[in-house]
Chains A and B, each alone.
Chain A
Amino acid sequence: MFRPTAQLITLLTGGALFLLLIAIVAYPSLTLVYSTFVTDDGLSLSNYGALLTDADALPVLWNTLVVALFTTLGATPLGVLLAWLMERVRLPFQRLWNSLLIVPYLIPPFIGAIAWVYLLGPVGYLNRLWMDFTGTREPFAVIYGSAGIIFVMILYSYPIAYFITRGPMRQLSGALEEAARISGARPLQVLTQITLPLLLPNIAASAVLIFMAAMANFGIPAVIGFPARYFVLTNEIYQVILNFDRPNNLQIAAAMSMQLVLIGLLALLVLQRLQAQRDYTLVTGKSAPALPLEAGRWKYVAMLLVVFIVLVAVVLPLLAIGAAAITRAPGVPLTLETASLRHFETLFFDIPKVPRAFVNSFLLAGGAATLIAILSLAIGYLTVRLKMRGSRLMDLLVTLPYALPETVVALAMILTFLRPLPVLGVTLYNTIWILVIAYVASFLAFGVRSVSAAFRNIDPALEEAARISGAGRGAAFRDVTLPLIRESVLSGWFLAFMPALTELTLSALLVSVGNETIGQVVFGFYQEGRFNVTAALAFTVTVMVLVLSLLVNRFTRRRDWTV
């Protein structure tokens, strides 16, 4: 009886995966780079030349770096400080604060930015309160511009540092800190001389990730920067792409995007260095964790800080969107009599593209996440378990889009799929499929990371034990490995689904009529100045995201299988 050998199956699966990754990652990336040289007179450097002579080019790069740098400098210490407070100081309602502190991570950043326009726009709630209170006609502060962008970015990116440092901080052997205490160090000295230096690789990694996120963000500067004519690279590229009157606009945009590509790749390189370094830290799971400090009076200071952050990052923005959503019309004061739900009604019954966008986004995000889960399973098995030849290249192809801002990914997709596909003759541009491809390429790394980690955590002997018990390769995978990584595949699915569901940047550039997405519709309403409808939709989306996250948390809680 002929049975295809395991090697043959591996070879075919690996080959298919490579072809797919080449089609959706490598080829678009190369097309992007190639396009930067394409001009009407053949290949030349004149697109870069246009960049050099453009009076705006240098300031925009400068703005991008300023925003990313200051966001990093603000968000990293804030996240680390909060992680330390939650781990080492016992606060009342600890669990509640922890849940609230990670909420900003779940809210789409551009919705957070919109909320802050409601709060600190020229006639925002906080400014009106200030004017009423002081009797002046001058607003307290206006969010538009660089400071506002940085402020909102800090609020929505500190959870990155919080997530990344909190786990290691917990696992850090208590004995390391106790040894410092017994040697005569005060708690604050322990923090600065022992804990933080030990966590330096983690802190540095979170700083790089925050920098990358800030540099790549499109939504916040689009919402807050535009009214002040303050542009960063992502917005500038967006403008150039949509400026169809400008000759070679896509190619010039491609040349501009190379700045983001270079910074992104550099950051990725640093990140991988740091991750390799992290293995050497003295973080062990076995020893007893550090005991919480007796903080005394300082406890209340800590409490105040946590409450302030929760207020600024979660409570106020949600209140602002909620208030704007139920206010009858802009400028009408909100009282019990003037409150109404009519904007929600308008949203779902009078504007057909709104329900359509919900359907589209759920289908798109669900479809992309499912594809990603399947691909992650195959990639994880081939690269981690079988250590297939070419595993490193495959990892690189998976990680590459992760280093690129989504604006750049979208541009690469446009340049690649604007023309009909070779052989097939089908044009994907202006269809929903270009979004599917962009989502899979952009969010694949989330799924692969989750599933690969699960494969790495499973002792190969578990599968071998099944083999020697009489199970073939397939049965061993089905009966042993799959049940053990199911939770991670599921969580990989959600890790791709959640950002895809409310994603703005890719759809802002790739959406076509009839294929609207949630994020792009919210943004569209905002740009059209539809104050209350925007708020109603933003509020709906935020509540939906929070409820979904809560459900996800319920369902993906890992069972205690640790042996």
Chain B
Amino acid sequence: MLELHNIAKTYNGVGAVRSVTLHVTRGEFVTLLGPSGCGKTTTLRMIAGFIKPDSGSITLNGRTLSDVQTGVFVPPEQRGMGMVFQSYAVWPHMTVFNNVAYPLRLQRQPREQMQRRVHNVLRLVALEGYEKRYPHQLSGGQQQRVALARALVASPQVMLLDEPLSNLDARLRDTMRYEIVDLQKRLGITVVYVTHDQAEAMAISDRIVVMRAGEVLQIDTPRVIYSRPEQRFVADFVGAANFIPCTISAHDVDRVRVRLKTGQELWVAAPHSAVVGDSAVLMTRPEQMTVVALPDAHLTATVTRIAYLGDRLEIELAADGLKLRAVTTTHDEALVPGDHIGLRLNDAVLLPESG
């Protein structure tokens, strides 16, 4: 539905976005995730039409919005999208009603229809009765809803959200994020969402686009991004990760045997490209590291710190110059710092050494 093909943008010789290709299907919730400066907002603003790409093309339902080769460039007002800005950008001189009605007014819709649609969308975001208020009379969360209503009122095919929750306090952020997803599913709208908050991205997205330094590293569902990251950066950015150096000692049809520094060997699921003798990195999530009796262990480590967090126990470990983190939900182990324990790596992922 929304297709970005090799789009790029350079500022003063620095590539803010380098060749991003992305296909968003109808009704999908796609999140651009990455640290600040990764190009996610630039990409979103190219979709909106606020930034003209230096190369590549953008199409929506087969209609070309931007194509550097043919010189086609549709200005933002003709793209039929809705957008929610980080600063809300609710117009301070207009009432809630006028803010939300503005897109319809530009379409010169008849008054009655306009009122009905504004009313409907305000009910959707639970702002009924606030029509005559001015933005400065609203809380941050309410302003956020006004911005959302304004983005939705004209029934856009695509809604763009640029870190919409980053100005809200933590509790409100949690409720708003689910409200946004609920609305999106109910209306069947296509959403491109930008955030640097990985937990937010995991919670709401159908698919996540992980970006770094203007490049797309991986596009997949939250589940796959978390459990099968393709690069060290992705693993590290999305959730906590332990990285353990290893060398490849053998490979099978769809799995690889790796040798740890301790001499222990284990099988992991991995691509065929692995070459015997190469060094690589094993990634495991803290909750996939289990404490076992020494003979069964892949690794031995010394407990350096233990934090009791109620629902779980966080264990910091030192093993052979590595700092590791394990999380366990079973509290029966009577561990204390200084203990020498054995660790098993479950569901480990083999990653290239760099990146």
The winner among A465, A480, A562 for most chain B CB atoms within 10 A is: A465
Q: Which among B79, B87, B136 is the interface contact of A461 at CB below 8 angstroms?
A: B87
Stretch at the interface among A102-110, A470-478, A536-544: A470-478
Tell me, yes or no, whether A551 is within 8 Å of chain B by CB: no
Q: Identify which of B76, B78, B103, B154 contacts A464 (C-beta below 8 A).
A: B76
| Cβ B82 vs Cβ A563 within 8 A | no
Chain B interface size band reads 20 to 34
Contact status A469-B77, CB under 8 Å: yes
Q: Smallest CB-CB separation from B84: which chain A residue?
A: A465
Once bound together, how far apart are the Cα atoms of A468 and B74, in whole Å?
11
Q: Which of A467, A475, A561 contacts B50 (CB 8 A)?
A: A467
The reply to whether A469 and B103 form a contact with Cβ atoms under 8 Å apart is yes
Contact of B77 among A461, A468, A480 (CB under 8 A): A468
Establish whether residues B143 and A563, one from each chain, have CB atoms under 8 Å apart when the complex forms.
Answer: yes
Q: Is B90 located at the chain interface by the 8 A CB criterion?
A: yes
Q: Which chain A residues numbered 62 to 111 have a C-beta less than 8 Å away from chain B?
A: none
B109 → chain A closest CB, angstroms:
11
Instruction: Tell whether A562 pairs with B92 under 8 Å between CB atoms, given A465-B83, A479-B102.
Output: yes
Would you give the shortest CB distance from B113 to chain A, in whole angstroms? 16
Q: State in angstroms the CA–CA spacing of A127 and B86 once bound together.
A: 68
**Does B136 contact A459, Cβ atoms closer than 8 Å?**
no
Confirm or deny: A462 has a beta carbon within 8 angstroms of a beta carbon on chain B: yes
Q: How far is the CA of A561 from the CA of B91 in the complex (A)?
A: 9
Tell me whether A459 and B87 are in contact (CB under 8 A). yes
* B81 neighbours in A (Cβ, 8 Å): 468
B77 touches A471 (CB 8 A): yes
Q: Counting CB contacts under 8 A, is B107 at the interface?
A: yes
Whether the pair A561, B136 counts as a contact (CB closer than 8 A) is yes
The residue that B92 contacts in the complex, of A461, A468, A476, A561, with Cβ under 8 A, is: A561
* Residues from 103 to 151 in B contacting A, C-beta threshold 8 Å: 103, 106-107, 134-136, 143, 147, 150-151
Q: In whole angstroms, what is the CA distance A560 to B92 when docked?
A: 9
Do the beta carbons of B93 and A470 come within 8 Å of each other? Answer: no
A471 to B90 Cα, complex, angstroms:
15
**How many angstroms between the C-alpha atoms of A227 and B86 in the bound complex?**
65
Report Cα–Cα, A480/B91, bound state, in Å.
7
Tell me which of A459, A464, A465, A470 contacts B106 (CB under 8 A). A470
- Is the Cβ of A469 less than 8 Å from the Cβ of B136? no
Q: Does B172 contact A (CB under 8 A)?
A: no
Partner of A563, one of B75, B85, B92, B160: B92
A561: chain B residues within 8 A (beta carbon):
92-93, 134-136
Tell whether A483 is near chain B: CB-to-CB under 8 Å: yes
Residues on the A chain within 8 Å of B143, using CB: 563
- A468 pairs with B93, CB closer than 8 A: no
- Whether B106 lies near A467 (C-beta < 8 A) is no
Known interface pairs A467-B75, A471-B77; A461-B107 also in contact (CB < 8 Å): no
How would you classify the secondary structure of chain A's contact residues: helix, strand, loop or mixed?
helix
Contacts of B77 in A (CB 8 A): 467-472, 475-476
Q: Are A470 and B91 in contact (CB under 8 A)?
A: no
Cα-based distance from A464 to B135 in the complex (angstroms): 18
* A190 interfacial contact with B, CB 8 Å: no
Least Cβ–Cβ distance between B349 and chain A, in angstroms: 40
Asked if A467 contacts B136 (CB within 8 A), the reply is: no
Q: Taking the nearest CB of chain A, how far is it from the CB of B87, in angstroms?
A: 5
Q: Which of B306-336 contact A (CB under 8 A)?
A: none
A-B contact count (CB 8 A): 81
Taking the closest CB of chain A, its distance from the CB of B108, in whole angstroms, is 10
Closest to A470 in B: B106
Residues of A contacting B91 in the complex (Cβ-Cβ under 8 angstroms): 462, 465-466, 480, 484
> What distance in Å separates the Cβ of A3 from its nearest Cβ neighbour in chain B?
10
Chain A positions 366-382 with a Cβ under 8 Å from a chain B Cβ: none
Is the beta-carbon distance between A465 and B85 smaller than 8 angstroms?
Answer: yes
- Looking at the assembled complex, report how far the CB atom of B132 sits from the nearest CB atom of chain A, in whole angstroms: 16
A465, A469, A562, A563, most chain B CB atoms within 10 A:
A469
Contacts of A461 in B (CB 8 A): 85-87, 89
Q: Report Cα–Cα, A465/B151, bound state, in Å.
A: 9
Contacts A461-B86, A461-B89, A467-B76 given; indicate if A560 touches B50 (C-beta within 8 A). Answer: no
Q: State in angstroms the CA–CA spacing of A464 and B78 once bound together.
A: 13
Contact: B136 with A563, CB < 8 Å? yes
- Shortest CB-to-CB span from B148 to chain A, Å, is 12
Q: Are B48 and A468 in contact (CB under 8 A)?
A: yes
- B134 — which chain A residues lie within 8 A by C-beta? 561
Given A464-B76, A470-B106, CB of A563 within 8 Å of CB of B93? no
Min CB distance A409 to B, Å, is: 38
The verdict on A470 contacting B150 (CB below 8 Å), with A464-B76, A465-B89 known, is no
> Are A464 and B50 CB-contacts (below 8 A) given A480-B91, A563-B92?
yes
Q: If the complex has contacts A464-B50, A464-B85, are A469 and B93 also in contact, measured as CB distance less than 8 A?
A: no
Cα A479 to Cα B103 in complex, Å, equals: 12
Contact A484 B89 (CB under 8 A): no
Q: Are B76 and A468 closer than 8 Å at their CB atoms?
A: yes
Residues from 251 to 274 in A contacting B, C-beta threshold 8 Å? none
B9-68 interface with A by 8 A CB criterion: 48-50
| A472 cross-chain contacts in B, Cβ below 8 A | 75, 77
A413-466 at interface with B (beta carbon < 8 Å) = 459, 461-462, 464-466
Report the bound CA distance from A460 to B60 in whole Å: 26
A470 touches B135 (CB 8 A): no
Query: Which of A462, A468, A480: most chain B CB closer than 10 A?
Result: A468
| Cβ–Cβ < 8 Å partners of A475 in chain B | 77, 106
Smallest distance from the beta carbon of B50 to chain A beta carbons, Å? Answer: 6
Taking the nearest CB of chain A, how far is it from the CB of B29, in angstroms? 19
Binary interface profile of A, 526-563, with partner B (CB < 8 Å = 1, else 0)?
00000000000000000000000000000000001111
Residue numbers in B under 8 Å from A465 (CB-CB):
83, 85, 89-91, 147, 150
Q: How far is the CA of A202 from the CA of B88 in the complex (A)?
A: 34
Given contacts A479-B102, A563-B90, A563-B143, contact A470 B136 (CB under 8 A): no
**Residues on the B chain within 8 Å of A483, using CB:** 93
Is there contact, CB below 8 Å, between A560 and B87? Answer: no
| Cβ contacts under 8 Å, A562 to chain B | 92, 136
Chain A nearest CB from B162 CB (Å) reads 8
* B83 CB contacts on chain A under 8 angstroms: 464-465, 468
Q: How far is the CA of A476 from the CA of B78 in the complex (A)?
A: 13
A468-B83, A475-B106 as given contacts; A459 in contact with B89, CB under 8 Å: yes
Q: Which residues of A contact B107 (CB under 8 A)?
A: 470
Chain A residue at minimal CB-CB distance from B93? A483
Bound Cα distance A484, B135 (Å): 13
Tell whether A466 pairs with B87 under 8 Å between CB atoms, given A484-B92, A562-B92, A563-B92.
no
Given contacts A480-B91, A563-B136, contact A469 B85 (CB under 8 A): no
Given A464-B50, A561-B136, A563-B143: A470 in contact with B89 (beta carbons within 8 A): no
**Distance (Å) between the CB of B52 and the closest chain A CB?**
11
| Chain B residues with CB under 8 A of A466 | 91, 102
Closest A-B pairs by Cβ, 4 of them: A461-B89, A561-B92, A469-B103, A465-B89
Q: Which residues of B contact A (CB under 8 A)?
A: 48-50, 75-83, 85-93, 102-103, 106-107, 134-136, 143, 147, 150-151, 154, 160
Q: List 5 A-B contacts (CB under 8 A).
A: A462-B91, A467-B75, A469-B82, A471-B106, A560-B136
Could you list 15 further interchain pairs (A-B, Cβ under 8 angstroms) beyond the known A465-B85, A466-B102, A468-B76?
A459-B89, A461-B89, A464-B48, A464-B83, A465-B83, A465-B91, A465-B147, A468-B48, A469-B77, A469-B103, A470-B107, A480-B91, A484-B92, A484-B93, A561-B135
